[in-house]
Amino acid sequence: MKISIKKKIEKKDIQNFLKIFEQSPKNIKNKNFIWKNTQLNQFLIYLKKEDVDVGMIRVIERKIFLSNKHYKVACLSSIGILPSFRGKGYSKILMNKTNLYLKNLTLKRIIQSYLY
């Protein structure tokens, strides 16, 4: 198992999102807006098994102000595994590899949201 990082979100990534979360293509207009928001500093982390993207996490980097200090944090969103790979421990592998990758970015905190 390995991870791949995608700094630029493309249409294919939104289609992968729809597969993972089993959403209908009619929702793609809203997803395009949210995912292609250029004001967000975001990227994707894919978990790969051989040549198959088994799962993904969307990471949004933010700066927050808390207790008179600024922190650089990662918000984890759109976390999911393809339906045919669920129940086999891949989400745990994806989360562990993501946490290791993010620690190397010297982020102070990791905020998780929208866990599917």
Would you kindly state where each structural domain of the chain is located, as residue ranges?
Answer: 2-112
pTM of the model as a whole: 0.76
In the sheet that holds 52-66, the strands lie side by side as 2-6, 41-49, 52-66, 69-81, 109-112
CATH topology of domain 2-112: Aminopeptidase (3.40.630)
Profile the chain (116 residues) by mean pLDDT over runs of 10 residues. Answer: 85 80 58 59 90 90 85 85 92 90 70 46
